[in-house]
Amino acid sequence: MTTHYIDIALRPDPEFSPAHLLGALVAKLHRALVQGQTSDIGVSYPQHVSQPASRRSLGTLLRLHGTASALARLMGQDWLTGMRDHIACTDIQPVPDGARHRTVRRRQFKTNVERLRRRRMQRHAETPEQATAAIPEDVERRPDLPFVQLRSSSTGQSFCLYIEHGALQETPVPGAFNAYGLSHGTTVPWF
């Protein structure tokens, strides 16, 4: 159950955009959660906005959710190395009374038809014509959700981590979070 939180706010920086700094922060958090095999820390982006594709933003605030002990354990690690000049962290605080709850989850989309076709050609030993027939142009989707740009540590490929905040709920749903602090069913407090 997520009873406490920490806010990590990005400071304005003349050299780096907020999106770049948020990507670096999320990547560092991901590595810390993987290394600690942590599934009891959730995240939310209280400032997220969904606007036209060129201006989608998760904002400049990352909120960590968990128990006081789970948050203390995470913050006891040195996972914010290199970010301290770019952020301001609050202390561990209890969730306000009366807070509502919502899921914060990752959404994945089939966003590149050419990549899907190349993959199909490799997996099924098909010709470009066969792959084109199997995967039409209309398969491609253009998501309008806010996202953070990350780089896979295993493949080195850049990818977008699309974030969807679920509907507000009156009661919390306990459970585990993934290595990005996200879940399809477990809720975090929203205030």
Active site residues: 30
Identity of residue 100: R
Rounded-to-integer distance, Cα 114 and Cα 132, Å: 9
Q: For residues 17 and 10, is the Cβ–Cβ distance under 8 A?
A: no
**Residue 101 CA to chain centroid, in angstroms?**
17
- SS3 state of residue 87: strand
Q: For residues 171 and 32, is the Cβ–Cβ distance under 8 A?
A: no
Q: Is the dihedral of CA 15, 20, 22, 25 positive or negative?
A: negative
Q: For residues 19 and 73, is the Cβ–Cβ distance under 8 A?
A: no
Structure tokens at 171: 């009661």
Rounded-to-integer distance, Cα 62 and Cα 57, Å: 12
